Structure 1
Amino acid sequence: MKNIFLLFFLFITIFSFSQEEDVEGLEKLPKKEKPSIELYKIYTLEKDTVFLDTTLTIKKEYKFNMLRKDNFGLLPFANEGQNYNTLNFGLNTNSTFPNFGFKAKHFNYLEVEDIKYYSVPTPLSDLYFKTVMEQGQSLDAFLTINTKPNLNFSIAYKGIRSLGKYINSLTSSGNFRFTSSYFTKDKRYILNAHFTGQDIMNQENGGITTTSDFEISDEPYDERAQLEVYFNDATNLLKGNRFFIDHSYKLSKDNPNSLVFTHQFNHEYKFFEYNQRTVSDRFGDSYSNSIYNKTRYNHLYNKIGVAYKTKDFGNLEFFVDDNKYNYYYNSVVYDNLGNIDVPNAINDRINNVGGTYTYFATNLVAKLLISNAITDQSISNIEAKATYKLNDDYNFIFEYQKLNSLPALNYTLYQSNYVDYNWSNNFKNEKLNQFKIAANTKWLDLSFNYKILNDHLYFENENNDITSLKVKPKQFENTINYLSFQAKKEIKFWKFALDNTVLFQSVDQSSDIVNVPQIVTRNTIYFTDKVFKKAMQIQTGVTFNYFTEYYANDYNPLLAEFYVQNQTKIGGFPMLDFFINAKVRQTRIFLKAEHFNSAWTGYNFYSAPNYPYRDFIVRFGLVWNFFQ
């Protein structure tokens, strides 16, 4: 927290000095027109650049949520700030290095690739506000400034607090981020850096105990706080701090063919803890009268590379990286004979060597990445991607990945005060072959995803009973084939439009390990017009969301993981949202009646077994951009 305040103070100080300089020079400078919106640039480490967009489109409606991105394929839980069940298996990703785990806590956790960098001609701020389910609000406040044309700072904080409708379902989280970008005037040296401090806390009730009370929803159970839940005093927390630097130096000043030296540094500390004052029989026997589990994780990463960049033949880079991590507890677990059954730590050092080649042509961008471990771990990664733009109406993308990755660390080691939740495993590496093809045309946007999974890791309840959870990590020894097609099309007529997204999924496997809904669809019909002498743009319509019944993964709050179950199906219920949105200058206002059909179509809607989906609720909010 001290580091956060220090960075905030530094940013405000620089901002103040820059403003003083501007004020002193105001009388000397001629009055200028407002800068073009295209000068407000947002980019990633991969140099994917977009301009600030203050328009009101249907995509803005889809992104008006806590994640600030289109969440098609994700099914939210009842309270804002809880986790999501994944309907689209194609959204799951693997990494070469072993990650921390506890995946259900990471939907709202900003990773390195989620951080954006900025270049703006004048100070820019962005304010997001949205009401929540009960007693709280969701807020994301952002400010960025270029103190010089080649030096940018940004500071932002996203916070949410929502009591929720159900017993013991409070959510409270904060995501602080600070970024800086710099380049020399000759652009030979380029720097992007950021700091994040994040904490994500959820009260966990384990779901409702009696689904029949919810599905009838007569008094008093139409008041959701009257429904009995499994846990009344359980809480889990994910917290992490990260320092990140990515910089490069070009050896030649004027020659377009030149050597470039690159370096990337990432230092991150995380911990996950689970607290429960009253022991629950649902998790089995325990070593103590109250539960306090804490898993800690330190990660230090360095990557050094040298690239040869050419004007006509593309860029070739070779790199070596060093990944050091320590995943640990403050105790060990002994067996009945006094021998160590579960150790307290996993720590390792992994070194990779690899290379990338990027080729640029008039309408084609192609990239190949190859990396392999030179230490004892047998991990490797091959990625190929090609983008071909025929013209403004036709764009094609091909991607291939072959990955041999280490298991997430909580699959390998976990400790708890609950007896059944202690393990130390030696799983095989997971293997992935993946093909992706996308065609974006003026007629239709199509995407195809095919995954071949070997030695797939997952969690499973050994008791096969939702009232008794003995969830353990497992490894599937056979091959899983996953296939998906997704189609998007917006049809416009006069001031009306119909926006459609349909996902089809199929899995070929000898056991039901990867369970997915066969069809997921979102269809929005809406009307757009300008009113009040064209001073305001309005957009109103209805969104229909639906997915077919399937054995959805259930949620275990002790592990903050979803686990495979094949006893209870969810799905097959329509979700209708009515919205009225408006735009005045750079302000966009959103009003939505969410799931307004909940009382008409029956109370059989769930986000996971025993976890009801959201009831009808009216929420509003805004996104407001300020320009200097």
Structure 2
Amino acid sequence: MQNRRSGNISDNRSSQQKSVYVAPDVKTWKIDSRFGVADTVAVDTIPLNFQDDNPVDRYSIANSYNGNLASPLQSKIFFDRTQKTDFLFGIPYDAYFRDPSDFYFFNTKTPYTNFGYQTGSSAQQAEDHVNVLFSMNDGKRLNITGLFDYIYARGQYSSQSAKALVASLYGSYTSNHYNASGILAYQKFDNKENGGLTDDRYVTNPTYTGQYTTINMPVNLSGAQSGYENVFFYYNQSYSLGFTKTIHLKNDSVRKEFIPVTTFIHTLNYSLGSKRFHETSVDTSFFANTYLSNTSHSDTASEMSLKNTFAVRLDEKFNRLFHFGLTAFIESNYQRYMMLNDSDRLSYASEYNTTIGGKLSKYEGRIYKYDFEGDMIIEGPRIGDFHLKGNIGGFFRLGKDSVVLRARGRIQSVSPSYFWDHYYSNHFIWNNHFANTFQSYVGGDLSLPKHHLFLGLQMANTKNMLYFNSSALPAQFSGNIQVVAANAELDLHAGPFVLANKGVYQICSNQSILPLPTWSMFHNLYFTTTLFKDLNTQIGTSVSYNSSYYAPDYMPATEQFYLQHQIKLGAYPLINVYANFHLKQIRIFVKYYNLGTMFLPNTNYFSIPHYPLNPMTFKFGFSWNFYS
């Protein structure tokens, strides 16, 4: 069978992945993208909080975005920010984008289908989300899964609609000797860009607000569209040499188990990402610079990556004496870049880098697990770049509960990706020679599962941090910036009532370069009961809140968040009320989003400057499982 580890010692509790609710006879797992090692994922049998099952709420408890689902997003919590791609213009879509490590693989005894639908607001401003997943096995070894996930959010405000499409066909093959995982995925994101409201008082001042509905409030741009498109093909395969061991069971029966000794691994990862920005007319009063056209224009840039990884692993199950696995690998990465040049024509550049590295790991056993991995680029323009990281976790008994402890660390030196240094477009041109960014990180957490308590602490020091300055241009801070964050989760139970609490306290040594809210909190008070013997019911209200700070501004032409120090945002409680129902194979929710706009005196519900959150909106959704 496929080598598989149980539990994820490097899991980040604040970065939530989508839950998978399936029958007990359906097994699920995820893989790491470099070696394809499977990580078993526990089946979700508690269908609570279905009302928050959307990409924005799963990504982080506090986010900066334009208020519309499927729009570019950045977490307000520093350690929740991800980078799933080397392509600069794809990072704002990390909350929606799925890389190989985000896919759930299946092994099912019967074909399994999940159909989900969520909607909100009126027909003209509706926010629709459809997702379909179908998985089936051909025998015990081969599984094929299809995924279709589509968001069409028309937007509460003018020229704000957004679309997100994820379509994928993927599968796995598992046997004693040969194992494989493959993914073919197409992902496309489109946004109409309105540049925000021309005057924030349309939201904050009742005199102004009374004259307008959200859809006809004046905005800065019309006829502008941005987007990101990606297609990738991923294939991991491994072949194990070993022997078969006979295990005698207590009932005098025997079981044969294959023990891998040495495994040879190959991973192919091809990705093509492209960015675009189109204007039917150029608003020179909004954009500070216009270089190529004052009437209409289309900017474009793309990055292609072809990566091959070859590895040899001495497997842990055979190594009973020292109880660890050891992996050595070499990796080649060819990248090709495309953008406009000063003649408004396409230009190309490319680079080739070779990386070597190794990994020491222990995933077997229940008491403790660890992995330590390092790599360095030995050939190419990024020669000298390196990553060193490690994770260790374990548990021990404490009375009737168990204490789970985890620690992780990382040291890395990374060259800026190509588009941090070079870009040419209608409104922005830059040519930089930034230095490597050096970062050291250490974090750890403690949890008491039966007491519903989780505590975490993370610290990072970054030298030569890259960011977008107040002119929306790339910049680099040559000094050191330290960030310390403490996070906690505590669920308080009183009979059928539960108060679930999450909080993050973060301190940054340089708020002028890296502004962060000091506090971000989420509270969820709900009541659970079972009606008519089979109808599991959850009724509750939730509130999220972050302290005020200089939230980043947003540049439509590059889809990047950049510094501003004029407007402080935050200190607004986002209140929702909801009801969830679960009956056998179907889950349903109803929800009122941002209820506070109806009665709170503070109407400053902006996520980023000039981009308000949606006002009170009714939402509805369901998820239905089918087995055939």
Aligned to 1:597, the other structure's residue is in SS state helix
For residues 81 and 98 of structure 1, the distance between their equivalents in structure 2, rounded to whole angstroms, comes to 20
5 Å-filtered alignment, 1:205-604, equals 205-218=194-207, 220-254=210-244, 256=259, 258-281=261-284, 282-283=286-287, 284-288=289-293, 289-311=295-317, 312=320, 313-332=323-342, 344-359=347-362, 360-376=364-380, 377=382, 378-391=384-397, 393-418=402-427, 421-441=428-448, 442-443=450-451, 444-462=453-471, 471-509=472-510, 512-532=512-532, 534-601=533-600, 602-604=602-604
Query: 1:412 Cα shift?
Result: 1.4
Instruction: Verify the 8 A CA contact 2:88 2:420 in the aligned structure 1.
Output: no
Q: Hey, what's the Cα distance between the residues in 1 that align with 2:369 and 2:624?
A: 35
Residue 95 of structure 2 is matched in structure 1 by 107
CA distance 1:294–1:199, shift in 2 (3 Å): same
CA distance in 2, matches of 1:54, 1:394: 23
1:345 to partner: Cα distance: 3.4
CA distance, structure 2, for counterparts of residue 310 and residue 295 of structure 1: 44
Structure 1 letter corresponding to 2:371: K
Code of the aligned partner of 1:370: G
Distance change >3 Å, CA 38–CA 490, structure 1 → 2: same
TM-score (norm 1): 0.87
Question: Which one is further off, 272-281 or 254-263?
Answer: 254-263
The separation in 2 between residues aligned to 1:257 and 1:50, in whole angstroms, is 22
Code of the aligned partner of 2:299? N
Provide the rounded CA distance (Å) in 2 between the counterparts of 1:540 and 1:76: 28
Q: Is the 8 A contact 1:214 1:221 kept in 2?
A: no
- Structure 1 residues 275 and 416, CA gap change in structure 2 (3 angstroms): same
Q: Deviations over 1:262-316 (max 9, x none)?
A: 0110111111100011111222233212121010211100000011113322110
Shift of 1:322: 0.4
Q: CA deviation at 1:91?
A: 1.1
Structure 1 residue 192 corresponds to structure 2 residue 178? no
Deviation, 1:132, is 3.5
Alpha-carbon spacing, 1:159–1:267, altered in 2? closer, same or farther (3 Å): same
> 1:158·1:176 contact (CA, 8 Å) conserved in 2?
yes
Moved over 6 A (4+): none
Q: Which amino acid aligns with 1:43?
A: W
Task: Structure 2: give runs of 5+ residues left out of the alignment.
Answer: 1-21, 33-37, 245-257
> What secondary structure does 2:479 align onto?
coil
Identity %: 21
The answer to whether the 8 A contact 1:346-1:413 is kept is: no
Letter in 2 for 1:306: V
TM-aligned CA deviation for residue 107 of structure 1: 2.4
3-state SS in 1 of match to 2:468: strand
How many residue pairs match? The answer is 569
Q: Within 2, Cα distance between the matches of 1:136 and 1:498?
A: 29
Query: What's the CA shift for 1:205?
Result: 0.4
**Residue 50 and residue 594 in structure 1: after superposition, are their counterparts in 2 closer, same or farther (change >3 A)?**
same
CA shift digits 1:163-222 (9 cap, x unpaired)? 1111100112210011110023xx111100001001100101010011122212445544
Per-residue CA shift, 1:101-125, capped at 9, x if unaligned? 3422332111122122111111111
CA contact (8 A) 2:441 2:458 kept: yes
Normalized per residue, the structure richer in strand is 2
Residues 254-263 or 606-615, more deviating: 254-263
Given that 1:102 and 1:560 are in contact with CA atoms closer than 8 Å, whether structure 2 keeps it comes out as no
Q: 2:28 aligns with which of 42, 54, 58?
A: 42
Structure-1 separation of matches of 2:477 and 2:160: 34
Q: How far did 1:162 drift?
A: 2.0
Tell me, in whole angstroms, the C-alpha distance in 2 between the residues paired with 1:70 and 1:585.
28
Asked if residue 82 in structure 1 is aligned to residue 77 in structure 2, the reply is no
TM-score, length-scaled by structure 2: 0.87
> Does structure 2 conserve the Cα–Cα contact (< 8 Å) formed by 1:94 and 1:405?
no
Segment drifting more, 596-605 vs 449-458: 596-605
One-letter identity of the residue aligned with 1:445: F
- 1:213-261 alpha-carbon deviations (Å, 9 max, x no partner): 2212445544012211110110011111111001110022437361110
Partners of 1:396 and 1:438 within 8 A in 2: yes
Q: 1:140 to 1:257 in 2, by over 3 A?
A: closer
Decide whether the 8 Å contact of 1:202 with 1:235 is kept in 2. yes
The aligned counterpart of 2:247 is none
- Deviation string, structure 1 residues 329-383 (Cα, Å, up to 9, x no partner): 253469xxxxxxx993331111110000112444110111010111142210001
Distance 1:447 1:100, change over 3 A: same
Farther off after superposition, 45-54 or 431-440: 45-54
What runs of 5+ residues in structure 1 fail to find an aligned partner? 1-35, 335-341, 463-470
Residue type matched to 1:163 in 2? R
Matching residue of 2:610: 610
